[in-house]
Amino acid sequence: MQLQELGGKLKLTKVVPEHLTPILHKLEETGCILEIGKDYIKLEAPKKLKNVEIKTMPYPGFPTDMQSVFASILTTAKGTSLVIENIFENRYKYVNELRKMGAKVTVEGKICVIKGTRKLFGATVEATDLRGGASLILAGLNAKGKTTVNNAKYVLRGYENLDKKLNSLGARIELI
């Protein structure tokens, strides 16, 4: 997969869009405008995402591996979003770290309630796993001020050159 920034828009190439169908549907529900080709996806996000409800399910449903990433981006969406984790227990370890950044997130059993806030704020947070750590990096990119994600080794082990890819889109990520 390759990423390319197009003036605030994003183009993913060398992808199989059919493999991402539930994710693409949720992105559209949040207000993103998508153009889907045979091997590419163009995305344009609105200034403020809309709230959504996500229920993880086995393939071809919404993947549990994406719920933490969506929860992170929904922290600044309009309204209240719900994430219902139907596959794994203990997938919400990252939530306490999001709260350190000002996110209004609560968890009751398998349900995560996310009340969109105006802005997240930089903080020092701890990655406890691959996907939760990735969600903290995304939250940090969306936050005002500097965010430090400790234990980023979890993320770097699972996402090849994530820092370089995000920096190519305008992020300022430094590995220490």
Give per-residue pLDDT as tens, 19-36: 999 999 999 999 999 999
Same domain, 147 and 109: yes
Mean pLDDT, the chain, whole residue set: 92
Select from 164, 168, 138 the least CA-distant residue to 11.
168
Same domain, 87 and 123: yes
Tokens of 127: 């990655």
Rounded mean pLDDT, 38-46: 95
Same domain, 52 and 25: no
Same domain, 72 and 17: no
H-type helices in the chain, by residue range?
A: 21-29, 67-74, 95-100, 130-142, 153-158, 162-168
pLDDT over 50 (residue 7): no
**Which residues have CB under 8 Å from 161's CB, separation 6+?**
none
Same domain, 33 and 65: no
Model confidence pTM above 0.85: yes
Task: Give how many domains the chain has, as a whole number.
Answer: 2
**Which residues have CB under 8 Å from 86's CB, separation 6+?**
55, 56, 57, 64, 110
pLDDT confidence of residue 8 = 61
pLDDT over 80 (residue 2): no
End-to-end Cα distance, the chain: 26
- pLDDT per position as a tens digit, 58-93: 999 999 999 999 999 999 999 999 999 999 988 999
pLDDT confidence of residue 9 = 86
- pLDDT per position as a tens digit, 148-173: 999 998 898 999 899 898 888 888 88
Same domain, 68 and 35: no
Same domain, 72 and 31: no
pLDDT over 90 (residue 53): yes
Question: How deeply is 85 buried, as exposed, middle or buried, from its count of CB atoms within 10 A (0-12, 13-18, 19+)?
Answer: buried
Same domain, 20 and 72: no
Domain containing residue 136: CATH number: 3.65.10.10
Task: State the residue range of the domain holding 113.
Answer: 48-176
C-alpha to C-alpha distance for 167 and 5, rounded to whole angstroms: 11
Same domain, 78 and 121: yes
Same domain, 146 and 59: yes
pLDDT over 50 (residue 14): yes
